[in-house]
Amino acid sequence: MLRAPSTLLTAVPRALEEVRAAGPLVQCLTNTVTVNLVANTLLALGAAPAMADLPGEAGTLAGVADAVYVNLGTPGAEQRAGMLEAARACDTLGRPWVLDPVAVGPLALRTALAAQLLELRPTVVRGNASEIRALAGTDGGGRGVDATHGVEESLDAACAVAVRTGGVVTVSGPVDLVTDGTTVVRVANGHPLLTRMTGGGCALGGIVAAFVGVHDDALEATVAACGAYTVAAERAAQAATGPGSFAVRLLDELALLDAPTLAEAVRFA
């Protein structure tokens, strides 16, 4: 089932305006490779990142943050404990949180951790096609952090995970797929340069958390986050000469993006 494009075209720019107005506090328990990019993209969007992942602090901050982002990219022992603490706090208090199951499937430790976290009902799960398939138990995942499946190949798995959590799943790719297990939305913006810099998916996960922290419809919030991020990427690529200048311009375009521009540029497949 598809949600009416007219409804989404109203909701997407409204959600961006809500993020700008609220400046949500987003707690990020994310990987050491991309922590700087995640923080900077959130700042460019107008959110307030808090990179707090220590046990003893993680649950406390989760209780006051507008949303929490959990990314399994480099899950050391201390951070794993902090992730579970934060996710449990979100589950208990009803706080929105986003799970990014980086490289689940072929790597046993993080796959087991992802299974524990999934039981704590993330509001949104964001991953590539192979990660989502592995999370659903469809197969063994991709090649490290790289997907070996197409987005549409993960549709059934994405719906199954969404039904299991009662939340939303988004699958990143040339066309981003967003589903709550019943409604399916495809966001067709983006640019290949997103795959040429480290942390493109991690940054999107943080942005999804910012949107679900302020917008009360998780599906709409996730679609709006994907739309805002990929429209900014298209605009950044227009003047970029390669991955380095693209990464800088992506921050600028996220900061410059306004609701009318997003409403005009976002495309649904």
Q: Which residues are annotated as a binding site for ATP?
A: 126, 172
Please compute Rg for the chain using Cα positions. Answer: 17
Q: Which residues are annotated as a binding site for substrate?
A: 51, 199
Domain spans, the chain: 5-265
Q: Tens digit of pLDDT per residue, the chain (269 long)?
A: 556 667 888 999 999 999 999 999 999 999 999 999 999 999 999 999 999 999 999 999 999 999 999 999 999 999 999 999 999 999 999 999 999 999 998 899 999 999 999 999 999 999 999 999 999 998 755 544 555 578 999 999 999 999 999 999 999 999 999 999 999 999 999 999 999 999 999 999 999 999 999 999 999 999 999 999 999 999 999 999 999 999 999 999 999 999 999 999 999 98
Q: Which residues are annotated as a binding site?
A: 51, 126, 172, 199
Residues 6 or more apart in contact with residue 186 via CB below 8 angstroms: 175, 176, 177, 178, 268, 269
Rounded distance between C-alpha atoms, residue 79 and residue 70, angstroms:
10
Query: Global pTM?
Result: 0.95
Fold of 5-265: UDP-N-acetylmuramoyl-L-alanine:D-glutamate ligase (3.40.1190)
